[in-house]
Amino acid sequence: MSEAATPVSDAEARDLLESMVAIPSPTGEERAAAEHLRDFLRDHGREAWLDDVGNVRAPGDDAVLLTSHIDTVPGDVPVGIEHPEAGDTDEPAPWGGGDEVPRDAAVLRGRGSVDATGPLCAMAVAAVRTGVSFVGVVGEETDSRGARHLVDDRDAPDAVVNGEPSGWDALTLGYRGFLAGTYRAETEAGHTSRPEPNAIQHAMSWWNRVEAAFDSPDDAVFESVTAKPVDVTGGVADDGLSVATTVDVQFRIPPGSSAEEIRTMAEAELDTGTVAWRDAIPPVLDSPRSEVGRAFRVGIRERGGSPRLLKKTGTADVNLFAGAWDCPMATYGPGDSALDHAPDERLALPEYDRAIAVLETVCDDLQ
């Protein structure tokens, strides 16, 4: 424990998690949860405040910055702690395996318990115990405004650990990037018996060509571009003189590809209409041999685990940090990412305890 570190009991750590999960914090409504987290940090001797966009800032030893997001997706998942018994489920035991249920085994259910209030609280506790820098950011589930503000508002730390569920014994090194745009087309209105395609048909044809252009094997998702339409509107205008359509589209960018390449390929399939593109987020793939990767392997092994290295097909705030800061980084946190956004989102509390212990080892090592 560093000189600036402050004790936090295991019971206090669990209380923080349960209380944070009980506070609704969908994107745009994070303030109550942010203030509660700020007060926890202050109560344990840390300088902490909410910045201009609502991030919780607690500067400390910049040997490592621990950061995760406060916001969750919407969804009312009743909050409660359950004490399972061995044999209740066919799933692997959430306390780490074996048929015997530990005395303190418990599972916390609730929105955000996995994505990402569990990782967030684990990092806050580890930051207090070790004295390293901590930031809880807002808006990750939509526009990442908290992370964008952070990289504009401070210098790079020596290392970054971003909080997302990986499982206590795993480390995420790669995420695909993200590109979004809106296709628009308009044609003159006409009788539906006419053979000429209208704007809706042009949009459908364009998207079919785009999907074919980015077709890839099902077993190579991380290395491939994924193209998805996410919203479609269209029809005859109110004045009856035209047919218009818009299609909101998203692309996931694998390491080795760029947003510019994807834009060029998608626009090459246009014969009618235009695409308005929005800011892109680059992909990231960190080395398992970095100081951060090594520290996590040590920490996981010290707790009896066999370290696993993951690549995720989505996108996270770490992509923005990697694009702005030249320092080693990785993503880590308790929880099964298959339960992200799920109606039965839940986190085994012994896993949460282990993740905090691993983070402490990592922070002490990097300090």
Q: What is the architecture, at CATH level 2, of domain 10-176+283-366?
A: 3-Layer(aba) Sandwich (3.40)
Task: Render pLDDT for 341-360 as a digit per residue (tens, 0 to 9).
Answer: 999 999 999 999 999 999 99
pLDDT score recorded for residue 265: 97
Sign of the CA dihedral with 251 first, then 256, 260, and 262 last? negative
User: For residue 104, what pLDDT band results from cuts at 50, 70 and 90?
Assistant: low
Q: Is it the case that residue 93 has pLDDT exceeding 90?
A: no
* DSSP H stretches of helix in 174-258: 199-213
Global pTM reads 0.88
Of the candidates 30, 140, 169, 364, the residue annotated as catalytic is 140
Place of tokens 């956004």: 341
Q: Is it the case that residue 100 has pLDDT exceeding 60?
A: no
Number of neighbouring beta carbons within 10 Å of residue 6: 16
Task: Render pLDDT for 219-236 as a digit per residue (tens, 0 to 9).
Answer: 889 999 999 999 999 999
pLDDT score recorded for residue 190: 83
The question of whether 140 is a catalytic residue gets the answer yes
> What is the DSSP secondary-structure string of 251-295?
EEE-TT--HHHHHHHHHHT-SS-EEEE---B--EE--TTSHHHHH
pLDDT score recorded for residue 217: 82
At 71, list the tokens: 């916001």
Task: Render pLDDT for 141-181 as a digit per residue (tens, 0 to 9).
Answer: 999 999 999 999 999 999 999 999 999 999 999 999 999 99
CATH code 3.30.70.360 for 177-277? yes
Mean pLDDT of 202-212: 97
Q: List C-alpha distances in Å: 249 to 76, 223, 231, 275, 277.
A: 28, 19, 7, 10, 9
Number of neighbouring beta carbons within 10 Å of residue 42: 13
C-alpha gyration radius of the chain: 23
pLDDT score recorded for residue 85: 64
Of the candidates 18, 30, 71, 164, the residue annotated as catalytic is 71
Q: What is the average pLDDT score of the chain?
A: 92
Among 86, 140, 107, 198, smallest CA distance to 317 is for 140
pLDDT score recorded for residue 140: 96
Q: Is it the case that residue 87 has pLDDT exceeding 60?
A: no
Place of tokens 């593109």: 277
- Which regions of the chain carry the CATH code 3.40.630.10? 10-176+283-366
Number of neighbouring beta carbons within 10 Å of residue 2: 15
- Which regions of the chain carry the CATH code 3.30.70.360? 177-277
